[in-house]
C-alpha cells in the first residue's frame, strides 16, 4: 500500500510540475520529427528510431552558426570514416592531429569547440551524415543553406590532400582540396 501511495504522489507531483512550467522533458524522452527544432535550437534531420543506450536523432546547428573555413593542411592526416555515426570520432581525430601540429581555425576544430544554446557536443558530420542533412533539409528547405557555388565540409578524409564535401545546390559530393574554404555546419547526436 505504501509503495502505491509513493507512486501516486510522484505521478501527481510530476503532473503539477509539468503544468506549472517548472519541469521540462529530457531530450532523450521527447519525440521529434524531421524538420522540428531540436533541443539546441537547430533542425532535426535524421531519426534512426529508438535505440537502447545510443543516440537517436541528428540535429544541424542553426544557420547563423555556419562558418567558412578550411578543412586543414594537406600534410596532416587523421584516420576517418565516411559512415553514419562516424562524425564524432572523425572530428576528435582531426582536431587532435591539427592541434598537435600547431594548426588552428579548421572545420573540425570549430565544430568540436562550438557551444550553441548551452550544448557543447557538436561535431563535423561524416560524408554520410552530411548527405542525410542534404537529402532531408537541403532539398526541402534550401533557404536554410547556401546554394550554387557553395560546398559544405564533411569530416571524412579522402586522401592526404583531399576531403569529402557536398554541394547543397545539387547534392553532388566531391573530393576537395583541404586548404579550400568551404562552409562548416556542425551537427550533434542525441
pLDDT in tens, 38-62: 999 999 999 999 887 789 999 999 9
Is 9 exposed, middle or buried, given 0-12, 13-18 or 19+ CB atoms closer than 10 A? exposed
Going by pLDDT thresholds of 50, 70 and 90, the confidence category of residue 75 is confident
Same domain, 69 and 17: no
Q: Does pLDDT of 123 surpass 70?
A: yes
Same domain, 16 and 66: no
Same domain, 91 and 14: no
* Radius of gyration in angstroms for the set of CA atoms belonging to the chain, rounded to a whole number: 19
Provide the pLDDT for residue 57: 97
Provide the pLDDT for residue 144: 75
Closest of 145, 148, 147, 154 to residue 175, by C-alpha: 154
More confident residue, 150 or 129: 129
Global confidence as pTM = 0.83
Supply the range of the domain harboring residue 150: 57-189
Going by pLDDT thresholds of 50, 70 and 90, the confidence category of residue 147 is low
The arithmetic mean of pLDDT across residues 130-151, rounded, is: 81
Same domain, 17 and 90: no
Whether 65 is in a domain gets the answer yes
Amino acid at each position: 500500500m505504501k509503495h502505491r501511495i509513493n507512486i501516486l504522489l510522484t505521478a501527481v507531483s510530476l503532473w503539477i510540475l509539468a503544468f506549472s512550467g517548472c519541469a521540462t522533458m529530457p531530450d532523450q524522452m521527447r519525440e521529434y520529427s524531421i524538420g522540428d527544432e531540436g533541443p539546441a535550437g537547430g533542425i532535426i534531420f535524421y531519426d534512426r528510431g529508438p535505440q537502447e543506450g545510443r543516440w537517436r536523432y541528428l540535429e544541424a546547428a542553426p544557420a547563423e552558426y555556419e562558418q567558412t573555413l578550411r578543412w586543414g593542411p594537406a600534410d596532416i592526416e587523421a584516420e576517418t570514416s565516411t559512415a553514419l555515426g562516424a562524425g564524432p570520432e572523425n572530428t576528435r581525430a582531426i582536431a587532435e592531429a591539427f592541434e598537435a601540429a600547431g594548426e588552428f581555425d579548421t572545420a573540425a576544430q570549430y565544430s568540436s569547440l562550438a557551444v550553441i544554446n548551452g550544448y557543447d557536443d557538436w561535431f563535423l558530420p561524416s560524408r554520410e551524415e552530411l548527405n542525410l542533412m542534404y537529402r532531408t533539409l537541403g532539398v526541402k528547405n534550401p533557404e536554410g543553406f547556401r546554394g550554387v557555388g557553395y560546398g559544405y565540409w564533411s569530416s571524412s578524409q579522402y586522401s592526404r590532400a583531399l576531403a569529402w564535401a557536398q554541394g547543397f545546390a545539387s547534392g553532388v559530393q566531391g573530393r576537395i582540396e583541404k586548404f579550400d574554404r568551404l562552409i562548416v555546419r556542425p551537427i550533434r547526436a542525441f
